[in-house]
Amino acid sequence: MQVKVFESADMATGLKMIKKELGPDALILSTKTIRSGKLGLLGKPRLEITAAIDAPWPDKNFYIASRTEAKKNAVLLEQKEIISESQPREEKEEFPTYNSALRLNQNPVSKTEKPTRSIPPFPEQNALQTEVDELKGMIRNLAQEMVRINASQSKFTEPQPELQDSEAQLSPEQNRGLRSLYERLLTYGISTSTARTISDNAGKALAPEEFFDLFRQQQYVSKAIGDLLQVNTDIFPRHKRQHRLALVGPTGVGKTTTLAKIAADYLSKHSASIALITIDTYRIAAVEQLKVYGEIMNLPVEVVLSPEQLEQMLLKHRDKDLILIDTAGRSPQDTLCIEELTSFLSPNLNIQKHLVLSATTREKELFEAMHRFSILDIDNIIITKIDECSSLGLLLDIQFRDNVPFSYITNGQRVPEDLLEADKELLTQLIMTPGKGLPYE
Protein backbone atom coordinates (compact mmCIF):
# COMPACT_ATOMS: atom_id res chain seq x y z
CA MET A 1 0.00 0.00 0.00
CA GLN A 2 1.28 3.46 -0.93
CA VAL A 3 0.62 6.14 1.76
CA LYS A 4 1.19 9.85 1.26
CA VAL A 5 0.46 13.03 3.27
CA PHE A 6 -0.95 16.12 1.54
CA GLU A 7 -1.32 19.69 2.81
CA SER A 8 -3.94 22.04 1.40
CA ALA A 9 -5.94 25.13 2.31
CA ASP A 10 -9.26 23.26 2.25
CA MET A 11 -10.82 19.85 1.62
CA ALA A 12 -11.77 20.52 -2.00
CA THR A 13 -8.19 21.45 -2.95
CA GLY A 14 -6.85 18.45 -1.04
CA LEU A 15 -9.16 16.02 -2.87
CA LYS A 16 -7.96 17.39 -6.22
CA MET A 17 -4.32 16.91 -5.17
CA ILE A 18 -5.00 13.32 -4.03
CA LYS A 19 -6.84 12.44 -7.22
CA LYS A 20 -4.06 13.89 -9.35
CA GLU A 21 -1.26 12.18 -7.38
CA LEU A 22 -2.77 8.79 -6.46
CA GLY A 23 -5.71 8.46 -8.79
CA PRO A 24 -9.48 8.21 -8.29
CA ASP A 25 -9.28 4.97 -6.25
CA ALA A 26 -7.26 6.53 -3.42
CA LEU A 27 -8.59 6.26 0.14
CA ILE A 28 -8.49 9.00 2.78
CA LEU A 29 -7.10 7.60 6.05
CA SER A 30 -7.23 10.71 8.25
CA THR A 31 -7.53 14.50 8.26
CA LYS A 32 -6.42 17.13 10.77
CA THR A 33 -5.89 20.88 10.98
CA ILE A 34 -2.32 22.12 11.46
CA ARG A 35 -0.55 25.47 11.76
CA SER A 36 2.75 25.91 10.00
CA GLY A 37 3.85 29.14 11.68
CA LYS A 38 6.43 29.62 14.42
CA LEU A 39 5.78 27.11 17.20
CA GLY A 40 2.52 26.29 15.42
CA LEU A 41 0.77 29.35 16.84
CA LEU A 42 1.07 32.15 14.33
CA GLY A 43 0.66 30.34 11.02
CA LYS A 44 -2.45 30.13 8.94
CA PRO A 45 -4.42 26.92 9.65
CA ARG A 46 -4.09 24.27 6.92
CA LEU A 47 -5.61 20.87 6.36
CA GLU A 48 -3.33 17.79 6.50
CA ILE A 49 -4.79 14.77 4.67
CA THR A 50 -3.30 11.29 4.80
CA ALA A 51 -4.29 9.20 1.75
CA ALA A 52 -3.36 5.76 0.45
CA ILE A 53 -3.84 3.44 -2.49
CA ASP A 54 -3.84 -0.35 -2.24
CA ALA A 55 -1.21 -0.84 -5.03
CA PRO A 56 1.82 1.23 -6.12
CA TRP A 57 0.70 3.85 -8.59
CA PRO A 58 2.89 3.51 -11.75
CA ASP A 59 4.54 6.55 -13.13
CA LYS A 60 3.65 7.91 -16.54
CA ASN A 61 6.50 6.19 -18.50
CA PHE A 62 5.84 2.86 -16.87
CA TYR A 63 2.14 3.13 -17.62
CA ILE A 64 2.77 3.89 -21.33
CA ALA A 65 5.27 1.04 -21.61
CA SER A 66 2.84 -1.32 -19.90
CA ARG A 67 0.05 -0.44 -22.32
CA THR A 68 2.39 -1.03 -25.29
CA GLU A 69 3.46 -4.38 -23.88
CA ALA A 70 -0.16 -5.29 -23.24
CA LYS A 71 -1.08 -4.61 -26.88
CA LYS A 72 1.79 -6.80 -28.08
CA ASN A 73 0.71 -9.60 -25.78
CA ALA A 74 -2.86 -9.32 -27.02
CA VAL A 75 -1.74 -9.64 -30.66
CA LEU A 76 0.39 -12.66 -29.83
CA LEU A 77 -2.52 -14.22 -27.96
CA GLU A 78 -4.87 -13.75 -30.89
CA GLN A 79 -2.33 -15.26 -33.32
CA LYS A 80 -1.80 -18.23 -31.02
CA GLU A 81 -5.55 -18.86 -30.80
CA ILE A 82 -5.94 -18.74 -34.59
CA ILE A 83 -3.14 -21.30 -35.06
CA SER A 84 -4.61 -23.53 -32.36
CA GLU A 85 -7.94 -23.75 -34.19
CA SER A 86 -6.29 -25.78 -37.01
CA GLN A 87 -4.26 -28.02 -34.69
CA PRO A 88 -5.26 -30.71 -32.21
CA ARG A 89 -6.33 -29.15 -28.93
CA GLU A 90 -3.58 -29.01 -26.39
CA GLU A 91 -2.76 -26.96 -23.39
CA LYS A 92 -2.02 -23.36 -24.46
CA GLU A 93 -0.04 -20.65 -22.81
CA GLU A 94 -1.71 -17.47 -21.67
CA PHE A 95 -0.21 -14.01 -21.94
CA PRO A 96 -2.34 -11.83 -19.63
CA THR A 97 -2.24 -8.08 -20.04
CA TYR A 98 -0.73 -5.80 -17.43
CA ASN A 99 -4.09 -4.14 -16.75
CA SER A 100 -5.85 -7.43 -15.92
CA ALA A 101 -3.10 -8.47 -13.52
CA LEU A 102 -3.14 -5.09 -11.82
CA ARG A 103 -6.93 -5.04 -11.57
CA LEU A 104 -6.99 -8.41 -9.82
CA ASN A 105 -4.05 -7.41 -7.61
CA GLN A 106 -2.30 -10.65 -8.62
CA ASN A 107 0.84 -11.66 -10.44
CA PRO A 108 0.43 -12.36 -14.20
CA VAL A 109 -0.91 -15.82 -15.00
CA SER A 110 1.84 -18.41 -15.10
CA LYS A 111 2.50 -20.50 -18.15
CA THR A 112 1.17 -23.66 -16.50
CA GLU A 113 -2.27 -22.18 -15.89
CA LYS A 114 -5.06 -22.86 -18.32
CA PRO A 115 -6.00 -19.77 -20.29
CA THR A 116 -9.44 -18.28 -19.79
CA ARG A 117 -11.23 -15.41 -21.43
CA SER A 118 -12.44 -13.87 -18.18
CA ILE A 119 -11.56 -14.52 -14.56
CA PRO A 120 -14.48 -14.18 -12.12
CA PRO A 121 -13.77 -12.05 -9.04
CA PHE A 122 -13.01 -13.79 -5.76
CA PRO A 123 -15.47 -13.37 -2.83
CA GLU A 124 -12.77 -11.48 -0.93
CA GLN A 125 -12.50 -9.08 -3.84
CA ASN A 126 -16.24 -8.47 -3.80
CA ALA A 127 -16.10 -7.60 -0.09
CA LEU A 128 -13.07 -5.38 -0.64
CA GLN A 129 -14.74 -3.60 -3.55
CA THR A 130 -17.85 -3.03 -1.43
CA GLU A 131 -15.74 -1.43 1.29
CA VAL A 132 -13.97 0.73 -1.27
CA ASP A 133 -17.31 1.87 -2.70
CA GLU A 134 -18.56 2.71 0.79
CA LEU A 135 -15.42 4.73 1.54
CA LYS A 136 -15.78 6.60 -1.76
CA GLY A 137 -19.37 7.41 -0.83
CA MET A 138 -18.24 8.67 2.57
CA ILE A 139 -15.64 10.88 0.88
CA ARG A 140 -18.26 12.32 -1.47
CA ASN A 141 -20.60 12.98 1.46
CA LEU A 142 -17.74 14.61 3.39
CA ALA A 143 -16.93 16.88 0.45
CA GLN A 144 -20.60 17.86 0.09
CA GLU A 145 -20.80 18.58 3.82
CA MET A 146 -17.69 20.78 3.64
CA VAL A 147 -19.26 22.74 0.79
CA ARG A 148 -22.48 23.13 2.77
CA ILE A 149 -20.62 24.32 5.89
CA ASN A 150 -18.58 26.82 3.88
CA ALA A 151 -21.75 28.12 2.29
CA SER A 152 -23.49 28.50 5.65
CA GLN A 153 -20.49 30.30 7.15
CA SER A 154 -20.24 32.68 4.22
CA LYS A 155 -23.90 33.47 4.76
CA PHE A 156 -23.00 35.11 8.08
CA THR A 157 -20.11 37.07 6.65
CA GLU A 158 -21.95 38.43 3.65
CA PRO A 159 -23.38 41.91 4.14
CA GLN A 160 -27.05 41.87 4.99
CA PRO A 161 -29.61 43.59 2.78
CA GLU A 162 -29.64 47.23 3.71
CA LEU A 163 -32.51 49.63 4.24
CA GLN A 164 -35.04 47.74 2.15
CA ASP A 165 -38.08 49.59 3.47
CA SER A 166 -36.93 53.12 2.83
CA GLU A 167 -34.45 53.07 -0.04
CA ALA A 168 -37.13 52.76 -2.72
CA GLN A 169 -38.62 56.08 -1.55
CA LEU A 170 -35.34 58.04 -1.50
CA SER A 171 -33.03 59.47 -4.10
CA PRO A 172 -29.62 57.84 -4.74
CA GLU A 173 -27.92 60.66 -2.80
CA GLN A 174 -30.23 60.20 0.17
CA ASN A 175 -29.64 56.45 0.08
CA ARG A 176 -25.89 57.01 0.29
CA GLY A 177 -26.39 59.22 3.33
CA LEU A 178 -28.65 56.63 4.92
CA ARG A 179 -26.11 53.87 4.28
CA SER A 180 -23.41 55.92 5.98
CA LEU A 181 -25.66 56.12 9.06
CA TYR A 182 -26.26 52.36 8.86
CA GLU A 183 -22.53 51.63 8.67
CA ARG A 184 -21.89 53.93 11.64
CA LEU A 185 -24.34 51.91 13.73
CA LEU A 186 -22.48 48.73 12.81
CA THR A 187 -19.23 50.21 14.16
CA TYR A 188 -20.96 50.50 17.55
CA GLY A 189 -21.31 46.70 17.64
CA ILE A 190 -25.07 46.86 17.00
CA SER A 191 -26.48 43.88 15.10
CA THR A 192 -27.45 44.30 11.46
CA SER A 193 -31.17 43.84 12.14
CA THR A 194 -31.25 46.51 14.87
CA ALA A 195 -29.10 48.88 12.79
CA ARG A 196 -31.38 48.37 9.80
CA THR A 197 -34.48 49.20 11.87
CA ILE A 198 -32.95 52.43 13.19
CA SER A 199 -31.77 53.41 9.69
CA ASP A 200 -35.16 52.73 8.12
CA ASN A 201 -36.82 54.89 10.76
CA ALA A 202 -34.23 57.61 10.10
CA GLY A 203 -35.25 57.58 6.44
CA LYS A 204 -38.75 58.53 7.53
CA ALA A 205 -37.84 60.95 10.33
CA LEU A 206 -35.02 63.00 8.77
CA ALA A 207 -35.59 65.71 6.19
CA PRO A 208 -33.73 65.25 2.85
CA GLU A 209 -31.24 68.01 3.65
CA GLU A 210 -30.39 66.34 7.00
CA PHE A 211 -29.15 63.08 5.50
CA PHE A 212 -25.60 64.40 5.05
CA ASP A 213 -25.56 66.51 8.23
CA LEU A 214 -23.34 64.43 10.53
CA PHE A 215 -24.32 66.45 13.61
CA ARG A 216 -28.03 65.94 12.87
CA GLN A 217 -27.41 62.24 12.25
CA GLN A 218 -25.61 61.96 15.58
CA GLN A 219 -28.49 63.66 17.35
CA TYR A 220 -31.00 61.31 15.76
CA VAL A 221 -28.98 58.18 16.58
CA SER A 222 -28.49 59.29 20.19
CA LYS A 223 -32.22 59.89 20.63
CA ALA A 224 -33.19 56.64 18.88
CA ILE A 225 -30.87 54.58 21.10
CA GLY A 226 -32.09 56.36 24.24
CA ASP A 227 -35.72 55.69 23.30
CA LEU A 228 -35.03 51.97 22.87
CA LEU A 229 -33.24 51.60 26.21
CA GLN A 230 -35.21 50.77 29.34
CA VAL A 231 -33.75 51.38 32.81
CA ASN A 232 -35.03 50.99 36.35
CA THR A 233 -34.63 54.41 37.98
CA ASP A 234 -36.31 53.34 41.25
CA ILE A 235 -34.54 50.21 42.47
CA PHE A 236 -35.38 50.93 46.12
CA PRO A 237 -38.86 52.52 46.19
CA ARG A 238 -39.51 54.46 49.38
CA HIS A 239 -42.99 53.12 49.93
CA LYS A 240 -41.58 49.63 50.66
CA ARG A 241 -40.49 48.87 54.19
CA GLN A 242 -38.11 46.12 53.15
CA HIS A 243 -36.34 45.52 49.84
CA ARG A 244 -35.49 41.99 48.78
CA LEU A 245 -33.15 41.44 45.83
CA ALA A 246 -31.94 38.11 44.43
CA LEU A 247 -29.17 37.84 41.86
CA VAL A 248 -29.49 34.94 39.39
CA GLY A 249 -27.65 34.02 36.21
CA PRO A 250 -25.10 31.75 34.51
CA THR A 251 -21.84 30.71 36.09
CA GLY A 252 -18.86 33.06 36.06
CA VAL A 253 -20.69 36.34 35.43
CA GLY A 254 -19.75 37.87 38.82
CA LYS A 255 -22.94 37.55 40.89
CA THR A 256 -21.26 37.37 44.32
CA THR A 257 -18.98 40.34 43.66
CA THR A 258 -21.89 42.35 42.26
CA LEU A 259 -24.00 41.54 45.32
CA ALA A 260 -21.20 42.84 47.57
CA LYS A 261 -21.02 46.02 45.47
CA ILE A 262 -24.76 46.61 45.86
CA ALA A 263 -24.51 46.06 49.62
CA ALA A 264 -21.59 48.50 49.96
CA ASP A 265 -23.33 51.07 47.75
CA TYR A 266 -26.54 50.84 49.80
CA LEU A 267 -24.50 51.05 52.98
CA SER A 268 -22.90 54.32 51.88
CA LYS A 269 -26.08 55.92 50.48
CA HIS A 270 -28.91 54.66 52.71
CA SER A 271 -28.35 52.61 55.87
CA ALA A 272 -26.52 49.69 57.43
CA SER A 273 -29.72 47.72 57.93
CA ILE A 274 -28.71 44.94 55.52
CA ALA A 275 -28.63 41.14 55.65
CA LEU A 276 -26.85 38.86 53.19
CA ILE A 277 -28.22 35.40 52.36
CA THR A 278 -26.65 32.80 50.09
CA ILE A 279 -28.20 29.68 48.65
CA ASP A 280 -25.00 28.97 46.67
CA THR A 281 -23.92 25.84 48.49
CA TYR A 282 -22.46 24.32 45.32
CA ARG A 283 -19.25 26.32 45.70
CA ILE A 284 -17.63 26.55 49.13
CA ALA A 285 -15.52 29.43 47.88
CA ALA A 286 -18.65 31.45 47.11
CA VAL A 287 -19.90 31.14 50.69
CA GLU A 288 -16.52 32.06 52.10
CA GLN A 289 -16.21 35.00 49.72
CA LEU A 290 -19.56 36.40 50.82
CA LYS A 291 -18.66 35.89 54.50
CA VAL A 292 -15.47 37.91 53.98
CA TYR A 293 -17.49 40.76 52.47
CA GLY A 294 -19.93 40.50 55.39
CA GLU A 295 -17.14 40.73 57.94
CA ILE A 296 -15.61 43.75 56.21
CA MET A 297 -18.96 45.60 56.14
CA ASN A 298 -20.09 44.20 59.51
CA LEU A 299 -23.19 42.59 57.96
CA PRO A 300 -24.80 39.24 58.90
CA VAL A 301 -24.41 36.41 56.38
CA GLU A 302 -26.83 33.48 56.38
CA VAL A 303 -26.52 30.17 54.47
CA VAL A 304 -29.74 28.36 53.53
CA LEU A 305 -30.18 24.92 52.02
CA SER A 306 -33.92 24.76 51.30
CA PRO A 307 -36.86 27.04 50.45
CA GLU A 308 -38.20 26.55 53.98
CA GLN A 309 -34.93 27.80 55.49
CA LEU A 310 -35.03 30.83 53.20
CA GLU A 311 -38.47 31.77 54.53
CA GLN A 312 -37.18 31.38 58.08
CA MET A 313 -34.23 33.69 57.39
CA LEU A 314 -36.48 36.29 55.81
CA LEU A 315 -38.61 36.16 58.93
CA LYS A 316 -35.52 36.37 61.14
CA HIS A 317 -34.34 39.54 59.38
CA ARG A 318 -37.73 41.14 58.93
CA ASP A 319 -36.42 44.27 60.63
CA LYS A 320 -33.76 44.85 57.95
CA ASP A 321 -34.23 47.47 55.21
CA LEU A 322 -32.44 45.41 52.55
CA ILE A 323 -31.97 41.66 52.10
CA LEU A 324 -29.63 40.56 49.32
CA ILE A 325 -29.80 36.93 48.16
CA ASP A 326 -26.93 35.27 46.28
CA THR A 327 -27.68 32.18 44.18
CA ALA A 328 -25.54 29.49 42.57
CA GLY A 329 -24.60 29.96 38.93
CA ARG A 330 -26.68 27.79 36.65
CA SER A 331 -25.91 26.64 33.15
CA PRO A 332 -28.61 27.89 30.74
CA GLN A 333 -28.77 24.32 29.42
CA ASP A 334 -29.55 22.92 32.88
CA THR A 335 -33.29 23.48 32.88
CA LEU A 336 -33.89 21.39 36.01
CA CYS A 337 -31.52 23.48 38.14
CA ILE A 338 -33.08 26.71 36.90
CA GLU A 339 -36.52 25.38 37.72
CA GLU A 340 -35.21 24.51 41.20
CA LEU A 341 -34.66 28.24 41.79
CA THR A 342 -38.39 28.85 41.31
CA SER A 343 -39.05 26.93 44.52
CA PHE A 344 -36.72 29.29 46.42
CA LEU A 345 -37.86 32.52 44.76
CA SER A 346 -41.61 32.01 44.87
CA PRO A 347 -43.78 35.07 44.00
CA ASN A 348 -45.33 35.28 47.46
CA LEU A 349 -41.92 36.24 48.94
CA ASN A 350 -41.87 39.54 46.97
CA ILE A 351 -38.25 39.14 45.87
CA GLN A 352 -36.91 41.25 42.99
CA LYS A 353 -35.02 38.98 40.61
CA HIS A 354 -32.05 40.56 38.82
CA LEU A 355 -30.55 38.53 35.97
CA VAL A 356 -26.77 39.05 35.90
CA LEU A 357 -25.16 38.77 32.44
CA SER A 358 -21.60 39.36 31.32
CA ALA A 359 -20.98 41.77 28.45
CA THR A 360 -18.20 39.44 27.26
CA THR A 361 -20.64 36.58 26.56
CA ARG A 362 -21.22 35.75 22.91
CA GLU A 363 -24.54 36.99 21.54
CA LYS A 364 -26.04 33.55 20.94
CA GLU A 365 -25.25 32.27 24.46
CA LEU A 366 -26.38 35.54 26.05
CA PHE A 367 -29.80 35.44 24.38
CA GLU A 368 -30.08 31.75 25.25
CA ALA A 369 -29.47 32.59 28.93
CA MET A 370 -32.14 35.31 28.81
CA HIS A 371 -34.60 32.83 27.35
CA ARG A 372 -33.85 30.05 29.86
CA PHE A 373 -33.94 32.26 32.97
CA SER A 374 -37.16 33.99 31.86
CA ILE A 375 -39.14 31.28 33.70
CA LEU A 376 -38.11 33.05 36.93
CA ASP A 377 -40.06 36.15 35.86
CA ILE A 378 -36.99 38.42 35.75
CA ASP A 379 -37.54 42.02 36.94
CA ASN A 380 -34.22 43.63 35.97
CA ILE A 381 -30.96 42.93 34.14
CA ILE A 382 -27.46 43.68 35.45
CA ILE A 383 -24.61 43.80 32.90
CA THR A 384 -21.11 43.07 34.24
CA LYS A 385 -17.56 43.34 32.85
CA ILE A 386 -18.27 46.19 30.43
CA ASP A 387 -14.65 47.28 30.93
CA GLU A 388 -13.56 44.12 29.08
CA CYS A 389 -15.47 44.96 25.88
CA SER A 390 -14.40 47.18 22.99
CA SER A 391 -18.01 47.84 21.91
CA LEU A 392 -21.31 47.67 23.76
CA GLY A 393 -23.89 47.65 20.98
CA LEU A 394 -25.05 44.38 22.50
CA LEU A 395 -26.79 46.41 25.23
CA LEU A 396 -29.15 47.79 22.61
CA ASP A 397 -29.71 44.37 21.07
CA ILE A 398 -30.70 43.04 24.50
CA GLN A 399 -33.35 45.71 24.80
CA PHE A 400 -34.44 45.15 21.22
CA ARG A 401 -34.93 41.45 22.00
CA ASP A 402 -36.50 41.87 25.44
CA ASN A 403 -37.58 45.11 27.12
CA VAL A 404 -36.59 44.05 30.66
CA PRO A 405 -34.99 47.19 32.16
CA PHE A 406 -31.35 47.48 33.22
CA SER A 407 -30.73 48.15 36.91
CA TYR A 408 -26.91 48.19 37.23
CA ILE A 409 -23.77 47.90 35.15
CA THR A 410 -20.32 47.03 36.50
CA ASN A 411 -16.98 48.06 35.03
CA GLY A 412 -14.32 46.42 37.22
CA GLN A 413 -13.56 44.49 40.41
CA ARG A 414 -13.45 47.35 42.92
CA VAL A 415 -16.14 47.30 45.63
CA PRO A 416 -18.25 49.39 45.46
CA GLU A 417 -16.63 51.92 43.06
CA ASP A 418 -17.11 49.82 39.92
CA LEU A 419 -20.89 49.73 40.19
CA LEU A 420 -23.11 52.20 38.32
CA GLU A 421 -26.87 52.54 38.38
CA ALA A 422 -28.24 52.18 34.86
CA ASP A 423 -28.96 55.53 33.23
CA LYS A 424 -30.19 56.12 29.66
CA GLU A 425 -27.68 58.87 28.96
CA LEU A 426 -24.81 56.82 30.35
CA LEU A 427 -25.75 53.69 28.40
CA THR A 428 -26.23 55.72 25.21
CA GLN A 429 -22.75 57.21 25.52
CA LEU A 430 -21.26 53.79 26.25
CA ILE A 431 -22.79 52.41 23.06
CA MET A 432 -21.78 55.40 20.92
CA THR A 433 -18.15 55.53 22.09
CA PRO A 434 -16.79 52.06 21.22
CA GLY A 435 -13.31 51.28 22.45
CA LYS A 436 -13.08 54.30 24.76
CA GLY A 437 -14.49 52.80 27.97
CA LEU A 438 -16.71 54.84 30.20
CA PRO A 439 -17.46 58.36 28.92
CA TYR A 440 -17.14 59.60 32.50
CA GLU A 441 -16.45 58.07 35.90
Lowest mean pLDDT among 159-163, 196-200, 259-263: 159-163
Lowest mean pLDDT among 63-72, 91-100, 344-353, 426-435: 91-100
* pLDDT tens column, 210-248: 777 778 878 888 888 888 888 888 888 887 889 999 999
Per-residue pLDDT band at 264 (split at 50, 70, 90): very high
Q: Indicate whether 249 pLDDT > 60.
A: yes
Lowest mean pLDDT among 48-52, 130-134, 275-279: 130-134
C-beta separation of 63 from 69 below 8 A: no
For the full predicted model, state whether its pTM sits above 0.85.
no
- All structural domains of the chain, each given as residue ranges with its CATH number in brackets, are 2-57+124-156 (no CATH), 60-120 (no CATH), 164-228 (no CATH), 243-432 (3.40.50.300)
Interval 197-203 mean pLDDT: 81
Lowest mean pLDDT among 215-229, 230-244, 293-307, 324-338: 324-338
